Amino acid sequence: MGGGCLPCPAGGFYQDKVGTVPNEAGDISCQICNPGTYVPLGSGNSSKSCQVCPEGTNKTRYAGFRACFCLDNYYRKDRFGKCLICPQDGVNCSGDIVQLLQGFYWHWTSSNIELYEQFKSNLQIFNDSYDREASSFNASLPMIHKCPVKENCINNASEVEGNCRKGHHGWMCTVCEDGYIKLVGFCKECSSPLMAFLDIVIYLAPLIIYLLGNYFSCYQLTSLFLVHFNIIAAAVVVTEDISDAIFVLISVLNTIFALLVAGHTIIKCLVNQMTCCHLYRAEVTSNELSRESLTFSSLSTEVVDISE
């Protein structure tokens, strides 16, 4: 390397021959330690220099340029140190690093998160080009908190700090960004004039139709409810974020309310029609009885006249 011979680096390497040079530029001409063993400080000169990798590591794999890779559910804070078990719920430990899970939040100081970002990136280098100055992270991990609304702490990006759902930021993703308003735990984007109008129509239409029920026929009321459902469908289509759970939930609940109102109104119409039918039949029956009574009276009068 660089025109001369250098000792083998720290990790799973040693060299028991003298004056060996690499075959290609950038390569290392070293022997490889058995799986599960490594040389902590490098400069291994025999297979006896290889030591068993520390606790928490996978001893079935070659060490590479570290003290073996961590087992699942373990992470490390030192490239050549032991691996630690995951601290608590809310994080995923794999690939030697710790990553925040959805629904959880932690708060880093600016200095610590910068150091851990460097350490994390350095662990993703699997050859001799890694940064020796960023081989360990000596600070503590921050405390993990469970978010009050799991969906707001999505943590689906690669940032160590985690990330919030669109429109949210701050402590446990509970603060709304500019242009958003808090609604039942979620930050909903402020409506455009069109969406505001559709919201008003969706929320108030069933009540208005119900109050006007006495002024419309059953057919007209049914038509109004169908128009209302079409407006709901149009509102969902023009919504920019179709995954807006609150908007969809309110629309569904509003639709259920509209169906209940529609059912009540239609039943009322049917009852009124049945009542009208009964009244009509009663009137017809009464008229028929009256005619029969008059006919009977006439016959009685004729019988009396004949008898005289």
More confident residue, 103 or 226: 103
Could you tell me if residue 94 is left (phi over 0), alpha (psi between -120 and 50 degrees) or otherwise beta? beta
How distant, in Å, are the alpha carbons of 171, 193, 248, 257, 276 from that of 262? Answer: 44, 28, 20, 8, 21
In this prediction, residue 306 has a pLDDT band, given cuts at 50, 70 and 90, of very low
pLDDT at residue 55 greater than cutoff 80 = yes
With 0.85 as the threshold, say if the pTM is over it.
no
- The 8-class DSSP code of residue 7 comes to P
Is the CB of residue 27 less than 8 Å from the CB of residue 8? no
Closest by alpha carbon to 171, among 108, 91, 107? 107
Q: Which residue has the tokens 């459902």?
A: 229
Stretch 280-306: mean pLDDT, rounded? 53
**pLDDT of res. 261:** 63
In this prediction, residue 272 has a pLDDT band, given cuts at 50, 70 and 90, of low
171-187 pLDDT per residue, tens: 989 889 888 887 767 88
In this prediction, residue 136 has a pLDDT band, given cuts at 50, 70 and 90, of very high
**pLDDT of res. 84:** 95
pLDDT at residue 38 greater than cutoff 70 = yes
**pLDDT of res. 21:** 46
Question: Judging by beta carbons within 10 Å of its beta carbon (0-12, 13-18, 19+), is residue 108 exposed, middle or buried?
Answer: middle
Closest by alpha carbon to 146, among 105, 86, 118, 175? 105
In this prediction, residue 193 has a pLDDT band, given cuts at 50, 70 and 90, of low
Could you tell me if residue 287 is left (phi over 0), alpha (psi between -120 and 50 degrees) or otherwise beta? alpha
Report how far residue 182's alpha carbon sits from residue 40's, in angstroms, rounded to the nearest whole number.
54
The secondary element (H helix, E strand) that includes residue 198 is helix 193-211
pLDDT at residue 239 greater than cutoff 60 = no
Q: How far is CA 110 from the centre of its chain?
A: 27
Token code pair at residue 69: 């890779």
**pLDDT of res. 259:** 64
Closest by alpha carbon to 234, among 270, 266, 194, 206? 194
**pLDDT of res. 17:** 78
In this prediction, residue 131 has a pLDDT band, given cuts at 50, 70 and 90, of very high
Q: What's the chain's average pLDDT? A: 76
More confident residue, 269 or 72: 72
First to last CA, the chain: 152
Q: Which residue has the tokens 């949210």?
A: 168
**pLDDT of res. 299:** 46
Is the CB of residue 84 less than 8 Å from the CB of residue 67? no
